[in-house]
Structure 1
């Protein structure tokens, strides 16, 4: 990996807000300090998205990633012949196939070291499943492409005010206590510690671990997972030299003064992590996958079919995802 490789962006579902926000990010490239990037497919689609949003974006096809880097200051580079119609707010099978093809191409370019990092646009999982996508989400697809077990691909949500990791993700809340184990907490916390060191440049990351139960269980009165599982995992990690603390009651862990005491918080389940992140940093939240040999980020929002093409979608998360991917790739290259 070299620091000057451009980033590869996948389109996301073309009926969603992804294409217009990519165009908006290119317009903001200088003031937002974005590294060079290109899009995997969608020349005419991106032109239509830019026009619909009222943006002056010259979209230019390129034949390789190196050409994209040289062109970036003057035009939005698009690599490859993938394309399709722009029908914002009207998802269909053709759009899902284009989204999947763009994801595959962008991922292959990054794993093949032609691009410096991967930024994935928002997709509709149900739509992709209808066209043969066999993965729960893009994270698992990218992990598989990298030869990494899906269990070792850890979701980090990052914003200006908070970094947090959900230990369990897309499972029913009732299943969470049955999935927690000392091994799971230790394994994923080790991945988080290495990821924060490598991708954020924090040599000794401070990691706060949330409790599962209200008031951290109150010594077993409201559940004993803190005593049986979370506490012993923390002791194991401390013995390895990892700076961890907890288990902390989640109702105070994300307060302003508490956030000053750690670099990343590990939550026990999806909403315990995502509710504070979206409350604090909704317009700049980034989904980053730790544990991969490549850098992968994505804006932490969905396709937003309901507002696609209206010009009201906020570009902050897309801009932040591109910026963070570039920063992390540069750190790894150095």
Structure 2
């Protein structure tokens, strides 16, 4: 396993889904991993261990510094303790409640600098709603509790990186929310994200909102009145950005190497190209936070929960990505400190 000064926090996700299963499978894989600590419910993790990985041993810790970086050990920082394990494969308020508690604890640790990054297992929006948690997803929770003014969702796999201008809302609302400020924010966050991934001069493509990127106003004027001015503004700040490009071809060009990252206007425009290439290596990154947060590019898997067949591949990719970003961030911070000394 890889040495790491601070562990990566992994939230357990919705306990009625595949989160606990894929976490334990990932931690017991043959792949060398950085030091990790699971944040979650004691009853849930003990039950999952007995079912999925009975050969592994549980190490309950009160603080991340107590983590034992050792194969076959599951380090758990307890954020709740249910009387019994929730029913698997079903939407339940108790599951949403304890999943939310684990997220809040991980955010607290990350903001205090006690973990290197946060990786979140999938949650269920209906379960959160039953628990009276008023958020549609992780991104919005991290935006409110993570200490960031602006956040954006980034999806990536081995071939494509994309940042979304708008996230979880109706298509009608996405059109309204994709204003000049939202465009500028997404472009800047995409630029900064590429820097963190070790791309020193990223080439950013901005997708159009309308078919054929508006066709010079024939199919809509958002490109001419909103997106193009935002691109020009970003260029004035030294960002290498171009567009707006037709949404039906820009991802193909990125995959072929013309662009390093694509700024997509709405949820499905950006996520369909990434997910079409498979969920095994897909990773979700929340940009704009003062710490690193990644997650698998799939949901809670209620249809296969409890069957022991869920794949940890996307979670492993998320852990690798979080580790890479934390290592790069440490390197960038060291370079900045060296620069200030002169």
TM-score normalized by the length of structure 2: 0.89
In structure 2, relative to structure 1, the CA distance for the partners of 1:168 and 1:281 (3 Å cut) is same
Q: Which residue of 2 aligns with 1:223?
A: 220
C-alpha separation in 2, matches of 1:81 and 1:140: 20
Q: Which residue of 2 aligns with 1:261?
A: 258
Find the residue that maps to 2:132 and give its secondary structure.
coil
**Larger RCO: 1 or 2 (CA < 8 Å, sep 6+):** 1
Residue 285 in structure 1 maps to residue 286 in structure 2: no
Provide the aligned C-alpha RMSD in A. Answer: 2.0
Residue 143 in structure 1 maps to residue 140 in structure 2: no
C-alpha separation in 2, matches of 1:293 and 1:251: 33
Q: Following TM superposition, by how much is the alpha carbon of 1:21 offset from its aligned partner in structure 2, in angstroms?
A: 0.4
C-alpha separation in 2, matches of 1:308 and 1:128: 18
C-alpha contact 1:110 1:116 (8 A) present in aligned 2: yes
Residue 177 in structure 1 maps to residue 175 in structure 2: yes
5+ residue gaps, structure 2, are 332-342
Q: Following TM superposition, by how much is the alpha carbon of 1:22 offset from its aligned partner in structure 2, in angstroms?
A: 0.2
In structure 2, relative to structure 1, the CA distance for the partners of 1:100 and 1:143 (3 Å cut) is same
Match for 2:154 among 142, 156, 162?
156
Q: Following TM superposition, by how much is the alpha carbon of 1:44 offset from its aligned partner in structure 2, in angstroms?
A: 4.1
C-alpha contact 1:238 1:244 (8 A) present in aligned 2: yes
C-alpha contact 1:43 1:60 (8 A) present in aligned 2: no
Q: Which residue of 2 aligns with 1:39?
A: 38
Number of corresponding residues: 327
Q: Which residue of 2 aligns with 1:73?
A: 71
Q: Which residue of 1 aligns with 2:16?
A: 15
In structure 2, relative to structure 1, the CA distance for the partners of 1:43 and 1:183 (3 Å cut) is closer
Residue 168 in structure 1 maps to residue 169 in structure 2: no
| Structure 1 runs, 4 residues or longer, greater than 6 Å off | none
State which drifts further: 174-183 or 120-129.
174-183
Q: Following TM superposition, by how much is the alpha carbon of 1:257 offset from its aligned partner in structure 2, in angstroms?
A: 6.6
Q: Which residue of 1 aligns with 2:132?
A: 132
C-alpha contact 1:7 1:115 (8 A) present in aligned 2: yes
In structure 2, relative to structure 1, the CA distance for the partners of 1:259 and 1:245 (3 Å cut) is farther
TM-score normalized by the length of structure 1: 0.91
Q: Which residue of 2 aligns with 1:123?
A: 123
Residue 333 in structure 1 maps to residue 334 in structure 2: no
> 1:47-91 CA deviation, whole Å, 9 max, x = no partner?
4324433663222212321221x3433401111362333332134
C-alpha contact 2:203 2:241 (8 A) present in aligned 1: yes
C-alpha separation in 1, matches of 2:50 and 2:4: 32
